[in-house]
Structure 1
Amino acid sequence: MLWTGEPPQAEALKEAMESYFNALQGFLLHCHGSMAGAGTTLFSSIQASVKQIVGTSFRLLQGSVSLYEGEYEKGRKPSIPQLAGAVWEACSNLKKVPATNIKAIGKAMTQVTVSMKDVLREMKELKPACFSPEPDDAYANPETETPNSDEDDLGDDLTPAEFEVSEMVADIVSEALVVIKELIRAITGMIKLENPKDDGAFVATLENLLKLCQDFGVQIDELGACVYPPQELSLMKQTLGRIRENIGEIEADVKGFKNSSSGALLGTCRRLQSSIENMETELDKRVDAEVVGKMQNVTL
Structure 2
Amino acid sequence: MAELPRTAEPARARLSPRKKQRISRGIQYAVLIAALVGFVFYADWPSLAQNFAKPDVAAHALPDLFTIALRNTIIYTVGGFVLSAVFGLLLALMRLSTVRPYRWISAIYIEIFRGLPALLIFLMITFLPLALPGFEVPFGTYGQGILGLGLVGAAYQAEIFRAGLQAVPRGQIEAARSLGMSAARSQVTVVIPQAIRIVIPPTTNQFVALLKDSSLVLFLGVSGQYVELAKFGNDLASQYANATPIMVAGITYLIVTIPLGYLAGRLEKLKGTGR
TM-score by length of 1: 0.22
Bigger helix share:
2
Higher relative contact order (Cα pairs below 8 Å, separated by 6+ residues): 2
